[in-house]
Structure 1
């Protein structure tokens, strides 16, 4: 009876919340106060899939949902991104009968990496995808190894771990765990023998703390590695990207399936690879996965095209306080090779909390914009002076750089001048300050 009342209460509050455009976490929060062990009492679907990591959670979950639905499965997932225990509770209880049986074939959960151990206290996923671990939101997360320790208690021995073989820290989750499947990217023309970036989190083995050796780098510390001291090394992937041409936008998976890349980014390759791996483990045919992923355009706003005056523009959402997210999008711009202007916007560092801490700007490799086709760099927002100081230490010509404390002033200046491509690099906390003043494209 207590569970039924908690479900009813959650459904009612969620219904009211939808009417006012809010309420993805509050219903679950209240239901948990009424019935703290509600998640341990409900009957879940046969597949319970969790996805966590520093980057790629939302995009990977969205692609998995699209593929599984195309394969005829009824998928319930947290499309609104409420990925802590309260949001997870709302999602599960609102899709339950009053008897406590959840509807659907698959429960698919994006899980905040810091709070996964709370979300999975009462139940455990059948499959747990871990995309990567990077320096991310220093104010909240500290070092990636701290995040690793936060995720570890959430992993159950009966859960199949689906791990990024190319991330040396993520691969540590397999230690002492019997049910592990790996995904990874094989050698390709864009891989390098040397590390490129401001810092190297792969320099030291996460197991024994001795020097790590790499045969190739895909980006940052993601690549093919081996520790000569303890033997910690990249595992052979069960699911592999066996061919990649970013310029042509072609990806080959498991040696026999080719698909087109709608977004030609190494980030997108790993998100697709994670989604491919999970969907194959769920029994979906390769042809179905390739058909969906090869033409899929993300709905989560990570990439938005727009027009501004005579300019065509592209918004590349990059998490503030996450240098790897920025570096990946800057590489995309570097490889564009057509005349363009780049806008870097930092006005509010986070949507979740206030901080004025900007040391993360110094971890970003802004020298990637030191390219002839980058004609202008526009810095704008409340933290424009922090940006200007950081760019003063870059190789980019000072004549190319313009600074605007006001975002509307920067947008007006761009609208009045030129017709080259514009790339805007900013975070979810700031993107609508641009999108509200431009014309979005389909």
Structure 2
């Protein structure tokens, strides 16, 4: 049923004394952070509210029509922002944790603030209950889904990521399945090309809908894959084609388990001058990006847009076309004579997809900034699962490494046949290269990216004479 027709839009009618106190404390913490520390403090206000009332999200959820919660190893922030942009084309107020504060505390913080009304078109729209779209860490679904109770829960993919923090994928699968089982009214929308996601759909009572790429994109498969084994019987899966990692058209010759029917299927995927294009429901969608994983992100946004019942195809395509990342993910900075593209990568699959972007765009200047802080995970053995050898054939390649694990990354690149120079920051990379070397590609992991982004924002402002 389209969301616009739903009769259960959740308006705030009552909030208990404990929840009211929790929200007041959280808002005060937010004000203090912005006033005295000049930071938005995305998680801290929510964390403080949760200390006062661990169930405060239940009360806060009453004031929002929760369209979707989006999770997965890679692409959560980008897809959440795309979906949010699409929902806003309906001209209604919106709640969204756009900055990627994806723990329960971050979602609580976003709901304590006023909704975004920048795209509201009239008084009637402003009076409607706000819609909500939230990014959620996979392991926090067990808290968020039963309390927020969204219409749709979307799972983009599952890859091995920070094993020293989260453990193996089967633990994540069990957590998500348990969360969905406690929220039976939530529809599970998942990447059918990923057998690790499809296995969850087989374990839960929820209605499930799969999205995926229904035709071969003609890409060479990654050297490393997380799982190409049957989630039913453990046998080796056979693939008609593989897009990357374990994503593709699979089937088990032993027990017959196979990729599910795709409710949202991208076909005729092709790489054009301005990025990948695919067809769906008789229309063409331009992603505007050369990364293959953006096909999945844009397709996922299509699925939620269509399911919402409030986003037209024309508005969806306009939102995708106008999407310009500002959080360091696939963001391009204009420094006058130089252009720098940044992106996040925090596991082998993410790095391998960035490798493809650089190869597609014939890049020659690469900089990798990698830390091993708590949020990154301390185990960096996954460096050896990245297919850096594909970069070693780039003529005139200039490679740089930075961050707390720069030495480890330098050694990994050396074994791939790439000589990399250790640098402190982006300025060092720019000083060591020339304008005719072309665009600079900077790939950073979770805690390294914000510093890179801040430095580039300053350099861009200086280049525009704004400082």
TM-score, scaled relative to structure 2: 0.83
- Does residue 291 in structure 1 map to residue 318 in structure 2? yes
- Does residue 282 in structure 1 map to residue 312 in structure 2? no
Structure with the higher helix share, 1 or 2: 2
What displacement does 1:353 show?
Answer: 6.1
For residues 303 and 46 of structure 1, do their structure 2 counterparts lie closer, same or farther at Cα, with a shift above 3 Å needed? Answer: closer
- Does residue 201 in structure 1 map to residue 226 in structure 2? yes
Corresponding residue for residue 210 of structure 2: 182
Equivalent-residue separation in structure 2 for 1:13 and 1:121 (angstroms): 26
What displacement does 1:84 show?
Answer: 1.3
Q: Which runs of 5+ in 2 are unaligned?
A: 1-15, 116-126
CA RMSD in angstroms, aligned pairs only: 2.7
Deviations 1:280-308 (A, max 9, x none): 00012112111211232222220232366
Q: Contact (CA 8 Å) 1:257, 1:290: kept in 2 or not? A: no
Equivalent-residue separation in structure 2 for 1:429 and 1:288 (angstroms): 34
- Out of 85, 88, 92, the residue aligned to residue 66 of structure 1 is 85
Corresponding residue for residue 263 of structure 1: 289
Q: Which moved more, 1:216-225 or 1:141-150?
A: 141-150
Q: Contact (CA 8 Å) 1:309, 1:415: kept in 2 or not? A: no
- Out of 124, 129, 145, the residue aligned to residue 120 of structure 1 is 145
Equivalent-residue separation in structure 2 for 1:310 and 1:285 (angstroms): 39
- Does residue 24 in structure 1 map to residue 42 in structure 2? yes
Equivalent-residue separation in structure 2 for 1:252 and 1:416 (angstroms): 36
Equivalent-residue separation in structure 2 for 1:52 and 1:70 (angstroms): 22
- SS at 1:181 equivalent: strand
Equivalent-residue separation in structure 1 for 2:162 and 2:247 (angstroms): 19
- Out of 384, 391, 406, the residue aligned to residue 413 of structure 2 is 391
Corresponding residue for residue 439 of structure 1: 459
For residues 309 and 287 of structure 1, do their structure 2 counterparts lie closer, same or farther at Cα, with a shift above 3 Å needed? Answer: closer
Equivalent-residue separation in structure 2 for 1:343 and 1:41 (angstroms): 45
For residues 378 and 29 of structure 1, do their structure 2 counterparts lie closer, same or farther at Cα, with a shift above 3 Å needed? Answer: closer
Equivalent-residue separation in structure 2 for 1:301 and 1:218 (angstroms): 25
Corresponding residue for residue 163 of structure 2: 138
Deviations 1:122-166 (A, max 9, x none): 342211000000011122122222221222221122111111010
For residues 239 and 29 of structure 1, do their structure 2 counterparts lie closer, same or farther at Cα, with a shift above 3 Å needed? Answer: same
For residues 230 and 382 of structure 1, do their structure 2 counterparts lie closer, same or farther at Cα, with a shift above 3 Å needed? Answer: same
- Does residue 160 in structure 1 map to residue 179 in structure 2? no
For residues 174 and 382 of structure 1, do their structure 2 counterparts lie closer, same or farther at Cα, with a shift above 3 Å needed? Answer: closer
Corresponding residue for residue 379 of structure 1: 401
Corresponding residue for residue 253 of structure 1: 279
Q: Contact (CA 8 Å) 1:242, 1:255: kept in 2 or not? A: no
Equivalent-residue separation in structure 1 for 2:358 and 2:298 (angstroms): 20
- Does residue 221 in structure 1 map to residue 246 in structure 2? yes
Corresponding residue for residue 372 of structure 2: 349
Q: Contact (CA 8 Å) 2:276, 2:288: kept in 1 or not? A: no
Equivalent-residue separation in structure 1 for 2:29 and 2:423 (angstroms): 41
Equivalent-residue separation in structure 2 for 1:261 and 1:83 (angstroms): 25
Deviations 1:14-37 (A, max 9, x none): 333332324332332332333333
Equivalent-residue separation in structure 2 for 1:402 and 1:33 (angstroms): 46
Q: Contact (CA 8 Å) 1:10, 1:94: kept in 2 or not? A: no
What displacement does 1:172 show?
Answer: 1.3
Equivalent-residue separation in structure 1 for 2:361 and 2:396 (angstroms): 9
Task: Number of aligned residue pairs: give it.
Answer: 425
- Out of 323, 326, 342, the residue aligned to residue 348 of structure 2 is 323
TM-score, scaled relative to structure 1: 0.87
Q: Which runs of 5+ in 1 are unaligned?
A: 97-101
Equivalent-residue separation in structure 1 for 2:391 and 2:230 (angstroms): 31
Q: Contact (CA 8 Å) 2:64, 2:132: kept in 1 or not? A: yes
Q: Contact (CA 8 Å) 2:77, 2:99: kept in 1 or not? A: no
For residues 7 and 386 of structure 1, do their structure 2 counterparts lie closer, same or farther at Cα, with a shift above 3 Å needed? Answer: closer
Corresponding residue for residue 422 of structure 2: 404
Correspondences of 1:30-109 after superposition (within 5 Å) = 30-42=48-60, 43-95=62-114, 104-109=129-134
For residues 28 and 196 of structure 1, do their structure 2 counterparts lie closer, same or farther at Cα, with a shift above 3 Å needed? Answer: closer
Q: Contact (CA 8 Å) 1:378, 1:410: kept in 2 or not? A: no
Corresponding residue for residue 99 of structure 1: none
Equivalent-residue separation in structure 1 for 2:248 and 2:307 (angstroms): 24
What displacement does 1:368 show?
Answer: 1.8
What displacement does 1:62 show?
Answer: 0.3
Equivalent-residue separation in structure 1 for 2:20 and 2:402 (angstroms): 52
For residues 334 and 419 of structure 1, do their structure 2 counterparts lie closer, same or farther at Cα, with a shift above 3 Å needed? Answer: closer
